[in-house]
Structure 1
Amino acid sequence: MKTLMRASAVALALACSAAAPAALAQAAPPAADTMFRATTLNLAAYGETKIAPDMATITLGVMTEGKTAAEAMQANAVRMNAVVASLRKAGVPDKDIQTSNLNLNPQYRYVENQPPQLVGYQASNNVTVTVNDLKRLGPVVDATVNAGANQMQGVSFGLKDPTAAENAAREQAVTALAAKADLYARATGHRVLRLVSLTEGGGYSAPPPIMPPAAMMVKREMDAGTSVSAGELKVRVDVSGLYELTR
């Protein structure tokens, strides 16, 4: 009887010792629960600088009409050649003169209850001109209008190299972002531990063209030179950052 009891006790002890690791394993929390869960801030800010433009792009052209397509195109070519010659005379190099649009369209007369009647053709030809010296912009416009340009699509100001202005905007954006992170951290009883990631968006983009007054849409003789005010450009850079906080 004693021998049987000893055997049972030994078996029970062995069973308990074997079950102990399994019990401990079940009691241990999953690895995901032991991972460090940081308090973070995801913020955005921007920086903006103003700078005077140092170049301009103008799109101008010639529109002519004729009874036939050949007549309209020939008249257009003669006048456009005169416009291009005036640009060269004004000091614009060939590399800064680019044909941007050439169209030929039939013109119809519409009478009620009758089929459209072909009355002629309209030809148009545009060139995009880059002016790298803004002091010459007004004289360039005057020269082309006097040479026969009767279409003006607008003037767009820009920068030859926006790098310096963009970098200044970047510095402002990062400074503003860091200040915002410090403010949120203090307000929530934390402090900024580190910047985890930084992303940039946006950057310099040329502003839309400034449309000219109606007086510049037709050929005219200039009593005074065209006045051009370039103003300032805004260069903006947007950034977003992820910050880790600690107490």
Structure 2
Amino acid sequence: MKNAFTRHISPAVIFFAVVFSALNVSAAEINTPTLSVTGYGEVVAKPDMAEFSVAIQADRSQAKQAKTAVDKVVENFIFSLTQSGMERKSIVSSHLRLSPQYNYPKDGKPVLNGYRAVREITVTVEQLDKLNTYLDLALQSGVNQVNSINLKVKDETQYKQQARQAAIADAKQKAQELAKGFDSELNGVWSIIYRSNSVRPVMMAKAMAMESRSADQGYQDEEMTISDQVDVIFKLKN
């Protein structure tokens, strides 16, 4: 009889039992006194490397002429960089982008005016004191556009770990102070939500590269911030 009764329990009854059990667990969780805090950590680092991106653009009447003009500048720039001691692996050049250029008269159809060729080069500078030298080489080689200059740190992982530990310590300190202020005590951790690192690189003005910095305007004087965040729910003693 017991087995027969078990076989005839409807799915609806089983579903209700599962939901009721889950509600009991949720109720137990809600009844547990908790304290929620967010821990923040920041580390200020001095840049010791850089990455800059430049572009070479040429407008010519013929597509082949535009391509040849751009390729020549790219070749000269890469040669100058390697001659100055930079490793080839630190230089990344993009494929050629070639597009027709049109004039759009008020009356009439668009008129082909020529072709524009563009290539980009990204350079990783391991020795920050040579950044100005490489930027000067870019200008001397015929580079006519600076896309970005970002100052960075080589051992970024180390600073990220320091920021994370600072965030954890901040969360613990806040929780202890709040619990004490409300005449309670912490009783372990209920949950942790990690928000991951945030790195704010130093982005230099594009015009600065075209003008070049003087010797007393060292990039080493700049600072960058690496931050971290963690959300923690602590249990409180009843």
Question: Shorter chain as normaliser: what TM range?
Answer: 0.7 to 0.9
Question: Structure 1 unaligned runs (5+)?
Answer: 1-29
Larger Rg belongs to: 1
Q: Which 10-residue stretch deviates more, 40-49 or 166-175? A: 166-175
Cα distance in 2 for residues equivalent to 1:136 and 1:32: 66
2:41 is the counterpart of 1:41 = no
Local SS of the residue matching 1:213:
helix
Name the CA shift for 1:52/1:147 in 2 (closer, same or farther; >3 Å): same
1:225 shift after superposition: 7.1
Which residue among 176, 181, 184 is the counterpart of 2:170? 176
Instruction: State the match for 1:150 in structure 2.
Output: 144
Q: How many residues align?
A: 214
Unaligned runs of 5+ in 2: 1-20
Alignment of 1:151-166 (within 5 A): 151-166=145-160
SS in 2 for 1:236: strand
2:175 maps to 1:185: no
**Native 8 Å contact 2:200 2:226 kept in 1:** no
> Equivalent pairs: percent with the same residue?
26
Displacement of 1:206 in angstroms is: 5.2
Alpha-carbon spacing, 1:114–1:89, altered in 2? closer, same or farther (3 Å): same
Task: Give the C-alpha shift of residue 185 in structure 1.
Answer: 1.2
Report matched runs for 1:13-32 at 5 Å.
32=24
Contact 2:54 2:121 in 1 (8 A): yes
- Per-residue CA distance 1:146-177 (angstroms, 9 max, x = gap): 01111110101112221221122122111111
The AA in structure 2 aligned to 1:239 is: V
The CA distance in 2 between the partners of 1:237 and 1:223, in whole Å, is: 33
Per the alignment, residue 49 of structure 2 pairs with 55
- 168-177 or 139-148, which deviates more: 168-177
Paired with 2:101 and 2:202, the residues of 1 have a C-alpha distance of 31
Asked if the contact 1:162/1:204 (under 8 Å) is kept, the reply is no
Match of 2:236 in 1: 245
The 3 A distance-change label for structure 1 pair 233 and 181 is same
Q: CA 1:59/1:215 → structure 2, altered by over 3 Å: closer, same or farther? A: closer
Runs of 4+ in 1 over 3 A off after TM superposition: 30-37, 222-228
In structure 1, the partner of 2:224 is 233
Work out the CA distance in 2 between the residues paired with 1:91 and 1:191. 61
Moved more, 223-232 or 66-75: 223-232
How far did residue 35 of structure 1 move?
Answer: 5.4
Q: What TM-score results when the alignment is normalised by the length of structure 2?
A: 0.80
- What is the CA–CA distance in structure 1 between the aligned matches of 2:205 and 2:164, rounded to whole Å? 31
Moved more, 93-102 or 139-148: 93-102
Letter in 2 for 1:79: V
RMSD of aligned alpha carbons: 2.8
